Chains A and B, each alone.
Chain A
């Protein structure tokens, strides 16, 4: 199975800060990497697919990059509504493994 390792597991940042979350795959997955946002008590929502393709309706302050084994989710200017846990998931092969999540809070 492909292991997905996210870091950090949690972070606290100020409104307007640039926030970066990383995700590393245990083997190459090309760009078959998705990012999900899960707000407290809510269903996960697809934020980014194919490592860098922002979903329709998602704010442009979110961006993704990477290929192969190393990936990054960036929030260019953190907003209060971005408080959530963010998960990466590889969909290159089954099982479609998730990272352990990164909890983003406001300082």
Chain B
């Protein structure tokens, strides 16, 4: 079965960086884009960007441009999202989610990771 398993909760100081991982299984790693979505406490869902698992190409929301880097490791079927220069506004639950098939038609995110809580506090 398809599974996306994320790394554990993180506590960071303002100004630091955080790197969240998302290990995939149950499907062909290179077959689907992976998206990142975050949710601040008590707030809605915010799309951050995607990674093409075949090429490594990325697309980021303008909101995070310059601060976020999304990568993947084909040897471990794992995706990463690194966010730099953290502030308290970055305190949120970060999700990875499987998206459209590469080279296929557009589809929404059908499988989601369990979420990684990132807390930014001094």
A residues with CB within 8 A of B: 1, 32, 34, 36, 38, 43-46, 49, 55, 85, 87, 89, 91-92, 94-101
Cα–Cα distance between A36 and B59 once the two chains are bound (Å): 22
Cα–Cα distance between A87 and B97 once the two chains are bound (Å): 15
Q: Which 10 A-B pairs have the closest CB atoms?
A: A34-B108, A95-B61, A98-B45, A96-B47, A101-B44, A43-B112, A94-B59, A91-B108, A100-B44, A46-B110
Contacts of A95 in B (CB 8 A): 47, 49, 61-63
Report how many residues on chain B are interfacial, defined by Cβ distance under 8 Å: 24
B residues with CB within 8 A of A: 35, 37, 44-47, 49-50, 59, 61-63, 95, 99-100, 106-110, 112-115
Cα–Cα distance between A92 and B110 once the two chains are bound (Å): 16
Give the residue of B108, B112, B113 whose beta carbon is less than 8 angstroms from that of A89.
Answer: B108
Contacts of A91 in B (CB 8 A): 99-100, 106-108
Contacts of A92 in B (CB 8 A): 106
17 contacts between A and B (CB under 8 A): A34-B109, A38-B45, A43-B95, A43-B114, A44-B37, A44-B45, A44-B95, A46-B109, A49-B110, A55-B110, A91-B107, A94-B50, A94-B61, A95-B62, A96-B47, A100-B44, A101-B45
